[in-house]
Amino acid sequence: MTQGERVQQKPVIDRLVVVGLGLIGGSFAKGLRGLGLCNEVVGYDPNPESRRLAVELGVVDRCAETLEEACRGANVIQLAAPILAMERLLEQLSQLELGDAVLTDVGSAKGNLVRCATRVFGAMPARFVPGHPIAGSERSGVTAADGTLFQRHKVILTPVAGTDTQALALVNRLWTALGADVEHMDVAHHDEVLAATSHLPHLLAFGLVDSLAKRHENLEIFRYAAGGFRDFTRIAGSDPVMWHDIFLANREAVLATLDDFRSDLDALRTAVDEGDGHTLLGVFTRARAAREHFSKILARRAYVDVMHSNDLIFLANPGGSLTGQLRVPGDKSISHRSIMLGSLAEGTTEVEGFLEGEDALATIQAFRDMGVVIEGPNQGRVTVHGVGLHGLQAPPGPIYLGNSGTSMRLLAGLLAAQPFDSTLSGDASLTKRPMNRVANPLREMGAVIETAAEGRPPMTIRGGQKLTGMHYDMPMASAQVKSCLLLAGLYAEGKTSVTEPAPTRDHTERMLQGFGYPVQVQGSTAAVESGHKLSAAHIEVPADISSAAFFMVAASIAEGSDVTLEHVGINPTRTGVIDILRLMGADIELFNQREVGGEPVADIRVRAAQLKGIEIPEALVPLAIDEFPVLFIAAACAEGRTVLRGAEELRVKESDRIQVMADGLQTLGVKAEPTPDGIVIEGGPMGGGEVWAHGDHRIAMSFSVAALRATAPIRIHDCANVATSFPNFLALAERAGMRVAVEEAS
């Protein structure tokens, strides 16, 4: 159903009464009437003209002349009167016989309403469900009523302890039918949230515009007003009477948020007064980043994605071949570490080639939350004003890490040793991933960490613990676990050493050394001792071999292809994908090999070749751990059987990559049998079909590559997370010759 399209539904209530026929009340009445959810919609408004118009415009079926007449026989009464008129209205209602009618309202402050209703009725009526739709329009009055006003807007219901659950469910149902995204919140929390996000900004806008206008009597300020001031005047153009009501009604919460803001404003004043540019830069970069971060990551995840059931669909059309020179974005692992170590260093670290994907941005945001001033990213350039090993500050709230397991696991090690408490949370996929693999060894070192059931996020890490170094034999080959413990080891008493069962990426060890921190590496053991410091460095992030891998496989399987991938990181702990593809017969040539900032890089030329199935050597598994989804596509296009063993770790990545890939491949007609620790794939022809990425970026991109050899289009669901590691994937894929695009909503 497209927006605005209305489908008649079966009535769920007999009579709806809407008291107050302004924009909000009128829109509620009109929307539900249009849907046919009530047998009758009755309106009441003290203004006879509004009543007349409401009937004429089809907002209601009929209007009553008095409140009493309106409410007779009502099943639901929606109170959409101005906030300060509510007390009087509730008094009148308390005198009426309302039967078992459900009462609800739309006011933007809830504490005041609940207190009022409690006083007037003697107790908060069980069938009164306070509500607040966060929607509006520049227009007002019944003539502006719009049945689609609440579509894709939040409506917050604030039930109290005794609220009748059936009444709550009914009100919820009505709003949901109008297309709203309904949430439940407690009254005080609602008022605090709204005071901060809506009321305070309005107070500031009214106050600032008035203050400036008063001072500049010739109104010069308006004549020369640039964008900033103009934006404030837009908000100050809101309805003065309504806002006067809101501030009087939500007094306590507004005062609390205003006091916090005043102290922050004083701090800014002091910074200006003292010429403290560092503080100013910190505030401004954090504010700018907050806008981007919240609009891009949180808003999409918390709002738009919910409304769209999280489904960004890629439509990958069959055929095509790849040519040209391509540079894929910066390495994700190195980008994360550049922010972490840059923040802990003394001095200013400059980073180039930084991956501007959501995962790495989440790490930047985490350190900004902990008081580090970070400029950028701007075309891959980031400037990190390091605070030293002991300079992090307590974050103001939980640190949200989106989809990024690397951020969460590495940060856990670092935070275990800080003097403050912290909580790490993430999106639905990250919330399913195992964290005991880091929490348990950290606890052995003296950390105090709580997790949700079965060691899942969120993780709460208690500050002020003394850590003691230890030796740890890692049960699984994980660079994240190794890095986590080494970072904790920077603070632990004595020596911390980690032995890995198989080689894993060593970016942490290399970068620590690049920052002048001594690391001892002997065979499969890496160790650090506390007591040293990190000194700022210049970091050039190579292109990510894990992103390049999609094009390596794509060029290998698509006839006539010849691509060169530039400046790709070829750290030997990451090149398993090249070794495996070469064993399968791929034509891959490395040239222009050089070392950049402690990491080897090369240009990689890949030409199409007939691949053959192989038994993948187990020793290569950790060295290609992120590349298996696309290697499975290579296997599906190869001649013969490919067998993977010893890769159970794939089951706990952003998705269960063994199962999800097997399901998708089977849908495309490929014989793919999952095993507990791997998969067996028979190469052969591949058809099209619908596959699901399960929010896993690498699955989405792998099936995009598969289309090169499919005989029909592949529709890939749930692709939004491609932005976590490869934000310009579609553009680059198109430039190279692939035929993948976002499917337009129908």
* Catalytic residue ranges: 626
Task: List the one residue from 492, 584, 625, 716 that touches ligand S3P (CB under 6 A).
Answer: 625
350: enclosing H helix or E strand: strand 348-352
Closer to ligand S3P by Cβ: residue 250 or 404: 404
Interacting span for ligand S3P (CB under 6 A) from 1-9, 211-219, 479-487, 604-612? 479-487
Q: Is 455 left (phi over 0), alpha (psi -120 to 50) or beta?
A: left
Cα 257–Cα 421–Cα 459 angle in degrees, nearest 5 = 105
337 is in an annotated binding site: yes
Cα within 13 Å of Cα(656), Cβ side? 13
User: Which range touches ligand S3P (CB under 6 A), out of 317-325, 457-465, 478-486, 733-741?
Assistant: 478-486
Contact pick of 27, 75, 343, 478 for ligand S3P (by CB under 6 A):
478
DSSP for 129-140 reads: E-EEE----S--
Q: How many residues does the chain have?
A: 746
Site track 647-676 with ligand S3P (rule: CB under 6 A), x = hit: --x---------------------------
Rounded to a whole number of angstroms, the minimum distance from the CB of residue 619 to ligand S3P is 15
698 known ligand binder: yes
If binding is defined by CB under 6 A, does position 575 make contact with ligand S3P?
A: no
Applying CB under 6 A, among 506, 626, 696, 718 the residue interacting with ligand S3P is 626
Query: Considering CB under 6 A, how many residues would be counted as binding ligand S3P?
Result: 10
Q: In what order do the strands lie in the sheet with 689-692?
A: 689-692, 714-717, 314-316, 740-742
Tokens of residue 640, six digits: 């013969």
The rounded distance, in Å, linking the Cα atoms of 160 and 181 is 20
Task: Decide whether 603 or 626 has the Cβ nearer to ligand S3P.
Answer: 626
- Alpha helices, DSSP H only, in 75-219? 86-94, 111-121, 165-177, 187-194, 200-215
- Nearest approach, Cβ of 701 to ligand S3P (angstroms)? 14
For tokens 């007999």, the residue is 14
Least distance (Å) between residue 406 CB and ligand S3P: 4
Nearest to 313 by CA among 738, 740, 735, 706: 740
Six token digits for residue 296: 């891009």
Q: At closest approach, how far in Å is the CB of 481 from ligand S3P? A: 6
Burial of 462 (0-12, 13-18, 19+ CB in 10 A): middle
Closest approach of ligand S3P to the CB of residue 293, in Å: 21
Distance of CA 377 to the CA centre of its chain: 18
Of the candidate spans 395-403, 475-483, 600-608, 631-639, the one that interacts with ligand S3P by CB under 6 A turns out to be 475-483
CB of 340 to ligand S3P, least distance (A): 11
Cβ closer to ligand S3P: 118 or 524? 524
626 is in an annotated binding site: yes
421 annotated ligand binder: no
Binding site annotation covers 10?
no
Between 150 and 515, name the residue whose CB sits nearer to ligand S3P: 515
Q: How far apart are CA 728 and CA 540, in angstroms?
A: 20
Judge whether 653 is annotated as a binding position. Answer: yes
Q: Which stretch binds ligand S3P (CB under 6 A): 19-27, 133-141, 474-482, 560-568?
A: 474-482
Out of 83, 120, 438, 479, which residue is the one contacting ligand S3P (CB under 6 A)? 479
The answer to whether 164 is a known ligand-binding residue is: no
**Per-residue contact track with ligand S3P, 389 to 408, x per CB under 6 A?**
-----------------x--
Told to check if 321 binds ligand S3P by CB under 6 A, we report: no
Distance (Å, whole) CA 429 – CA 414: 23
Residue number with CB closer to ligand S3P (677 or 682): 677
β pairing state of 381-385 and 348-352: antiparallel
The span from the CA of 23 to the CA of 25, in Å, is: 6
Tokens of 317: 């059309």
480 marked ligand binding residue:
yes
Q: What angle do CA 94, 100, 104 make, to 5 degrees?
A: 65
Residue 110 annotated as part of some ligand binding site: no
| Residue 270 buriedness (CB in 10 A; 0-12 / 13-18 / 19+) | exposed
Residue 480 interacts with ligand S3P (CB under 6 A)? yes
Q: Which CB sits closer to ligand S3P, 355 or 387?
A: 355
Judged by CB under 6 A, which stretch of 182-190, 238-246, 313-321, 473-481 contacts ligand S3P? 473-481
| Residue 50 counted as an annotated binding residue | no
Alpha-carbon gap, residue 343 to 238, rounded angstroms: 42
**Cβ distance 432 to 655 under 8 Å?**
no
Site for ligand S3P in 198-257 (CB under 6 A): none
Nearer CB in complex with ligand S3P: 286/505: 505
Burial class (CB in 10 A: 0-12, 13-18, 19+), 226: exposed
Quote the least distance from Cβ 483 to ligand S3P, whole Å: 6
Q: Is 333 in the site for ligand S3P (CB under 6 A)?
A: yes
Q: Is 505 a binder of ligand S3P (CB under 6 A)?
A: yes
Distance of CA 443 to the CA centre of its chain: 29
Element (H, E) at 315: strand 314-316
Binding of residue 429 to ligand S3P (CB under 6 A):
no
158 Cβ contact list (under 8 Å, min separation 6): 110, 114, 130, 131, 132, 184, 185, 186, 187, 190
Return d(Cα 87, Cα 90) in angstroms, integer. Answer: 5
Strand 128-129, strand 131-133: pairing: unpaired
In whole angstroms, the minimum distance from the beta carbon of 74 to ligand S3P comes to 58
Among the residue ranges 252-260, 320-328, 472-480, 674-682, the one whose residues contact ligand S3P (CB under 6 A): 472-480
The only residue of 50, 250, 483, 655 in contact with ligand S3P, by rule CB under 6 A: 483
- The nearer residue to ligand S3P, 64 or 479, going by C-beta atoms, is 479
Select 105 or 626, whichever has its Cβ closest to ligand S3P.
626
Residues 16-55 vs ligand S3P: string with x where CB under 6 A?
----------------------------------------
Of 75 and 724, CB closest to ligand S3P = 724
Helix (H) or strand (E) holding 601, with range, is: strand 599-607
Residue ranges for the binding site?
A: 332-333, 337, 405, 433, 478, 480, 626, 653, 657, 698
Question: Which residue numbers belong to the known binding site for 3-phosphoshikimate?
Answer: 332-333, 337, 478, 480, 626, 653
Q: Which residues bind ligand S3P (CB under 6 A)?
A: 333, 406, 478-480, 483, 505, 625-626, 649
